[in-house]
Amino acid sequence: MYNFDVEQPTTLADAVQALSRDEAQPLSGGQTLIPTLKARLAAPSVLVSLSGIDEMKGVCSDDAGRVCIGAATTHATVAREVADLYPALAGLAARIGDPAVRNRGTIGGSVANNDPSACYPAAVLASGATVVTNKREIAADDYFQGMFETALKEGEIVTEVKFPVPEAAHYEKILQPASRFPLVAVFVAKFPDGVRVAVTGASNNGVFRWSDAEAALGGDFSAQAVADLKIDSADMISDLHGTAEYRAHLVGVMTKRAVAAIA
């Protein structure tokens, strides 16, 4: 490690002010950033911790019936407090990493980082959620823009994520045992006006919606409706854990399992 300053604001306004300093970087749960610093892949002069900002923590429902989760809320808290409001989302949070990760990592950190194999982006995209920052609200379909890329601009902090609650949903994943990230995972959410299917862990372009599956399930919500669907492997991740073709195959398998679990 190297020398850097740490700011610990207790309000969002103070955090925004602290982040205006040169080379300042926000620190949420630190589950990605701290290892990155140890590997010297990043070298900010100031870390601005968001963990002490109470207004960015907690779970509630708004007037539209959406589940609203503060960005500094840990995975463990989401798993516990969302269980009755949005069971599929709570189940996703309960299976992230291990207990140490779940008690330190936050939903805001995951959504802001947008790791191509992270769990939360699939839930955000499949739910048609809204990512709230200190400056604006961003629809999920506009927010995720590629591997580790989002619509966030300089000085923006994710403060909250608002999830519409579907009629039914399920998250299915194949766990990569070493990293505990999903090798491939699919979140299926069934709404009155259609079905949304989001895939994570598979593509070089990060989380994405599988439109062919959505169309098929919109007409017949059953595992059989997607049984014969294939997805192009051209943009799939290929590494020592699995080839692009294998991941493309798993997208179909995970989608069928998720639909079967709901149906």
**pLDDT value for 26:** 87
Q: DSSP letters along 168-214, please? A: EEEEEEEE-TTT-SEEEEEEEEEETTEEEEEEESSBTT-SEE-HHHH
Report the CATH number that the domain containing residue 87 is assigned in CATH.
3.30.465.10
Q: What is the pLDDT confidence band of residue 129, given thresholds at 50, 70 and 90? A: very high
Domain containing residue 17: CATH number: 3.30.43.10
17 CB neighbour count, 10 Å cutoff: 14
- Rounded mean pLDDT, 80-97: 97
Distances (CA, A) of 158 to 136, 141, 184, 242: 9, 16, 25, 33
Q: Which residue range is the domain that position 83 belongs to?
A: 54-163
Tally of residues, the chain: 263
| Residue 94 CB partners (closer than 8 Å, separation 6+) | 75, 79, 102
Q: Which of 124, 141, 163 is the last residue of a domain?
A: 163
Most confident of the following: 21-25, 145-149, 166-170, 173-177: 166-170
In 99-150, DSSP assigns E strands to 130-133, 137-139, 144-146, 149-150
What is the arithmetic mean of pLDDT over 21-37? 81
Mean pLDDT of the chain: 93
**173 and 148 share a domain?**
no
pLDDT at res. 1: 60
Helix (H) or strand (E) segment spanning residue 24: strand 24-27
Instruction: Tell me how many domains the chain contains.
Output: 3
CA Rg, the chain, in Å? 18
Decide if pLDDT at 31 tops 80. no
44 and 59 together in one domain: no
- Alpha-carbon span 96 to 74, nearest angstrom: 11
Question: Same domain, yes or no, for 173 and 156?
Answer: no
Whether residues 39 and 76 share a domain: the answer is no
Band (45; pLDDT cuts 50, 70, 90): confident
Which among 58, 59, 4 has a CA at the least distance from the CA of 27?
A: 4
Same domain (yes/no): 64, 151: yes
Phi, psi (deg, nearest 5) at residue 151:
-80, 0
**Tell me: the pLDDT tens digits for 155-206?**
899 999 999 999 999 999 998 888 888 999 999 999 999 999 999 999 999 9
172 & 230 share domain: yes
